[in-house]
């Protein structure tokens, strides 16, 4: 309880023109997308030209940003005349990004063969790590466009925050598996007689999948591999970009044990990879606005309810008692995190009592993130 | 136990037809607490001396974390006792191990399976034919549901109920679409005939699919979408379990006014005086703001809940645990489920 973490100054980070990329990471369901959108909006209000790459926004947030349609390209969000910067928003279309990469790396003729292959659709959507890979790829593309002062990236919803860093590599290692290489080897693969363990394995595969499917799959592997050589290099390059100066990772967490545990893993990993961590945004906290002790409030409420069961004062006291015990629990959870990560800067964002459905609500969140509540 | 909400629309409580169900799938958007609810449901169903199996299929070792035990092996182990001599066993299905078991059982290909694992072929096969994984998992689930005792009570099911901590709402329909999944695989053969049995089980009244949600926009949106998908597939929907509800505390009139930012400050002040509490001006203003925020939240949730009325599915409700979830709270939630008719 004794450690007071340093305060995360997001206003300074978003204003600093040397910062070009902000990546929002964290476990699923902690409010990453909303946080990313709020930060992007605030940076635009600071006069910067900003694009926010969202992955899977809630319908109302998407509406607030005017990106209901899956454009896969940034669209400008209309802001008030007093805003000197620009906010652009886009929603990642994973499949389309994948298609575009195939076309880019395979040439039109071979690309058509791949895109029409029956496995392509399956692999393009079911392969673990594809979404993360495509988010990285899109980030790489946006960086290449050279027209953004700041790119704010939301990361795919996954239980593990580390997936964003690991999934692209896992995709690569799948392509490097022994079986993949076997299917590639010229004159080998399915038609050829293989013996021993490999032969046994192939027999197992063709029994379960059918021999036609297995030979189609081998054909697909061969046509896609040339493309994936490019994919792999590219994933490595984008990964390196994330280590550059000008990138800031922001870990978003809810005040829940699982989410904070994920945040802790992520913080350790960033340190290990020497990737720049701005700090932790602790989302949806419930700080009390009244110092009255929780138990005292509950006792008083009970007294009042004896004479008036619908006493508005009793209700207010009950509400406060709940909020105070929630706040206490959140402080306890946070102190566990800061005990393990004493140098990580933190800012708390109190829970909004409503869903974000317009820019005004995003501004309210941005105020909390940047500590500009007075200026609002 | 089926009662009506004050506004008389959706029934709250466990409908009696669900007492026939022996296979319960629990899905929900990530972060809604589906694993916690699945465990609590298993405990509730085990009450009164019954034997229940809690299954997880995503390889996360979520059950072990919830019950605070070391990672589970791929076998059924006793994990908890329930009220009245009930017992909950747990099974963490490992896809690779299930795949090897399957090859061995249906094709007599145990050796080939091990060779496949060594060269990464199991991962490859489940990637190009994602249905394979689902067929394996649901096939294993069917096996435990239909398994009967050999000695003590021949012909009796080993488990009175099986609860599956299932994939999230975004994937639940695909997970249970065994017909589609099996069409990915080699035509004919034992996999297909076994899959037919799984399809029959999933479409029977032995099965119930439950969706856990919070009264917030995104989880509700996903719940509604999942229910539409499941209905189109004719899969039996059990209930919607609304998790982490908050008590209104305020009387309906006061609540409506407070949600508009209007709290009777004089009434609060005199109430506090009666209770012998004096607050500084700042604390008093804070108390009013807390009340307004609370009312706004309750009102927003009531509005979200309207969407659930439209889909017309029986609903259960579980409270927010302000102290967080631990082993004890699983039993607390189980009791609450029992109170709402789960048995």
Residue to mutate among B109, B170, B186, with most A CBs inside 10 A, is B186
Instruction: Give the sheet arrangement for strand B86-92, strand by strand.
Output: B3-4, B11-12, B315-319, B237-245, B207-213, B23-28, B161-165, B51-56, B86-92, B77-82
The pLDDT score that the predictor gives to residue B5 is 41
Chain B residue with CA closest to A157: the answer is B30
Q: Cα dihedral sign for A146, A147, A152, A156?
A: negative
A 142-201 residues with CB < 8 A to B: 157, 159, 174, 177-180, 182, 197-198, 200-201
Q: Residue B286 is nearest to which of A179, A289, A301, comparing CB atoms? A: A289
pLDDT of the residue at A120: 81
**Residue A58 and residue B221: Cβ atoms within 8 Å?**
yes
Chain position carrying tokens 């999933």: B202
- Whether residue A207 lies within 8 A of chain B, CB to CB, comes out as yes
Distance from CA of A303 to the nearest CA of B (A): 7
When scoring A190, A313, A326 by the number of chain B Cβ atoms within 10 A, the one with the most, hence best to mutate, is A313
A48: its two tokens:
């910067």
Contacts of A300 in chain B (CB under 8 A): 272, 275-277
Per residue in B20-29, pLDDT tens?
999 999 999 9
Q: Which residues of chain A have pLDDT under 70?
A: 1-3, 68-71, 126, 159, 161, 172-176, 185-195, 226, 228-231, 374-376
What residue in B sits closest to A127 (Cα-Cα)?
A: B127
Other C-beta atoms closer than 10 Å to the C-beta of A169 total 16
Rounded to a whole number of angstroms, the distance from the CA of A145 to the nearest CA of chain B is 32
Q: Report the residue of chain B nearest A58, measured CA to CA.
A: B218
Nearest-neighbour CA in chain A from B177: distance (Å)? 15
Q: Do A290 and B279 touch (CB under 8 A)?
A: yes
Please give the Cα distance from A254 to A232 (Å, whole number).
33
Cβ atoms of residues A28 and A156 within 8 Å: no
Strand ranges across the sheet with A75-77: A75-77, A86-91, A49-54, A150-154, A21-25, A247-254, A277-285, A346-350
Residues from chain B that touch A30, judged by Cβ atoms under 8 A, are 31
**Element at B99 (helix H, strand E):** helix B95-102
Chains A & B: contacts with CB separation below 8 Å: 215
Minimal C-alpha gap between A28 and chain B (Å): 7
* In contact, A75 and A83? CB cutoff 8 Å: no
Q: Which residues of A touch B105 (CB under 8 A)?
A: none
Choose from A315, A352, A356, A358 for mutation: most chain B CBs within 10 A: A315
A contact test, residue of B105, B292, B293, B323 with most A CBs within 10 A: B293
pLDDT computed for residue A146 by the predictor: 87
Structure tokens at B221: 């949106």
Q: Block means of pLDDT (10 residues each) for chain B, length 343 residues? A: 42 86 95 93 96 93 91 95 94 89 81 83 80 89 90 80 95 91 74 87 97 92 95 96 94 95 96 95 97 94 90 93 82 96 92
Contact by Cβ (8 Å): A345, A277: no
Residue A238 has what pLDDT?
77
Residues in A closer than 8 angstroms to B185, CB to CB, are 208-210, 213
Q: What is the pLDDT of residue B1?
A: 39
Interchain CB distance below 8 Å, B116 and A311 = no
Backbone torsions φ then ψ of B277, nearest 5 degrees: -110, 125
Q: Do B29 and B223 touch, CB atoms closer than 8 A?
A: yes
| Nearest residue in A to B136, CA atom | A208
Chain B residues close to A373, C-beta within 8 Å: none
B322 contacts A322? CB cut-off 8 A: yes
Instruction: Residue B304: name the closest of B212, B219, B209 by CA.
Output: B219
* Helix orientation angle between B95-102 and B121-128, rounded to the nearest 10 degrees: 90
* Contact list, B125 vs chain A (CB under 8 Å): 205, 208-209
Which value does ipTM take for this structure?
0.85
Choose, out of A261, A312, A320, the residue to mutate when testing the contact with B (most B CBs < 10 Å): A312
Helix (H, G, I), strand (E, B) or coil at B304: helix
Q: Which helix (H) or strand (E) holds A153?
A: strand A150-154
Exposed, middle or buried: residue A134 (CB in 10 Å: 0-12, 13-18, 19+)? buried
Check if the beta carbon of residue A72 is closer than 8 Å to that of residue A97: yes
Please give the structure tokens belonging to residue A232.
């792999």
Closest by CA position to A160, among listed A313, A312, A266, A47: A266
């Amino acid at each position: 309880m004794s450690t007071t973490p340093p305060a995360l100054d997001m206003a300074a980070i978003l204003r600093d023109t040397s910062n070009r990329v902000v990546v929002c990471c964290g476990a699923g369901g902690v409010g990453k997308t909303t946080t990313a959108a709020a930060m992007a909006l605030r940076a635009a209000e600071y006069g910067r030209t900003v694009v926010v790459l969202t992955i899977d926004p809630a319908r109302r947030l998407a509406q607030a940003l005017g990106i209901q349609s899956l454009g896969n390209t940034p669209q400008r969000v209309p802001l008030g005349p007093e805003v000197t910067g620009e906010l652009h928003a886009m929603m990642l279309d994973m499949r389309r990004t994948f298609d575009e990469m195939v076309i880019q790396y395979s040439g039109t003729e071979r690309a058509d063969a791949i895109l029409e292959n029956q496995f392509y659709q399956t692999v393009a959507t079911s392969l673990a790590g594809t979404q993360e890979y495509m988010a990285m790829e899109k980030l790489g593309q946006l960086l290449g466009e050279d027209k953004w002062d700041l790119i704010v990236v939301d990361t795919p919803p996954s239980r593990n925050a580390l997936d964003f860093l690991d999934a692209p590599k896992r995709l690569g290692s799948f392509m490097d598996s022994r079986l993949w290489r076997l299917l590639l080897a010229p004159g080998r693969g399915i038609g050829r007689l293989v013996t021993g363990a490999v032969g046994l394995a192939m027999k197992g595969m063709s029994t379960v999948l059918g021999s036609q499917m297995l030979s189609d799959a081998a054909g697909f592997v061969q046509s896609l591999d040339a493309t994936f050589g490019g994919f792999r290099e590219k994933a490595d390059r984008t990964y390196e970009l994330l280590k550059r100066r000008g990138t800031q990772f922001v870990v978003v967490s809810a005040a829940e044990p699982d989410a904070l545990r994920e945040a802790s893993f992520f913080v350790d990993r960033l340190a290990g990879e020497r990737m720049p961590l701005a700090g932790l945004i602790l989302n949806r906290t419930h700080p009390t606005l009244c110092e009255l002790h929780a138990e005292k409030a509950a006792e008083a409420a009970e007294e009042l309810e004896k004479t008036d069961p619908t006493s508005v004062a009793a209700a207010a006291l009950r509400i406060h008692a709940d909020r105070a015990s929630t706040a206490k629990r959140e402080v306890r959870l946070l102190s566990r995190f800061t005990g393990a990560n004493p140098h990580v800067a933190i800012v708390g964002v109190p829970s909004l009592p409503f869903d974000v459905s317009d820019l005004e609500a995003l501004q309210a969140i941005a105020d909390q993130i940047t500590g500009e509540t007075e200026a609002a | 136990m089926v009662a009506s909400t004050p506004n008389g629309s959706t029934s709250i409580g466990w409908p009696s037809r669900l007492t026939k169900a022996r296979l319960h799938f629990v899905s929900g958007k990530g972060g809604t607490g589906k694993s916690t609810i699945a465990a609590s449901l298993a405990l509730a169903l085990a009450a009164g001396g019954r034997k229940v199996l809690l299954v997880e299929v995503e390889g996360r070792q979520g059950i072990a974390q919830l019950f605070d035990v070391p990672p589970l092996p791929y076998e059924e182990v006793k994990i908890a006792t329930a009220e009245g001599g009930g017992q909950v066993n747990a099974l963490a299905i490992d896809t690779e191990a299930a795949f090897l078991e399957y090859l061995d059982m249906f094709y007599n290909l145990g050796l080939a399976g091990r060779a496949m694992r060594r060269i990464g072929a199991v991962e490859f096969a489940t990637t190009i034919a994602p249905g394979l994984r689902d067929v394996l998992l649901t096939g294993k689930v069917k096996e435990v549901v239909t398994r009967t005792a050999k000695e003590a009570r021949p012909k009796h099911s080993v488990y009175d109920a099986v609860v599956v901590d299932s994939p999230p709402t975004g994937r639940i329909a695909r997970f249970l679409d065994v017909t589609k999944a099996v069409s990915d695989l080699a035509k004919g053969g034992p996999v297909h005939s076994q899959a037919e049995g799984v399809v029959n089980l999933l479409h029977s009244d032995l099965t119930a699919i439950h969706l856990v949600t919070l009264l917030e926009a995104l989880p509700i949106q996903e719940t509604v979408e999942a229910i539409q998908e499941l209905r189109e597939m004719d899969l039996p929907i059990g209930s919607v379990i609304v998790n982490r509800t908050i008590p209104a505390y305020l009387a309906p009139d006061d609540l409506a006014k407070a949600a508009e930012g209007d709290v009777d400050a004089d009434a609060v002040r005199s109430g506090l005086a009666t209770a012998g509490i004096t607050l500084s001006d700042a604390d008093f203003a804070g108390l009013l703001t807390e009340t307004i925020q609370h009312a706004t939240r309750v009102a927003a949730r009531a509005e979200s809940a309207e969407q659930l009325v439209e889909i017309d599915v029986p609903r259960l409700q579980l409270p927010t645990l302000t102290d967080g979830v631990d082993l004890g709270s699983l039993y607390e939630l189980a009791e609450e489920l029992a109170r709402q008719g789960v048995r």
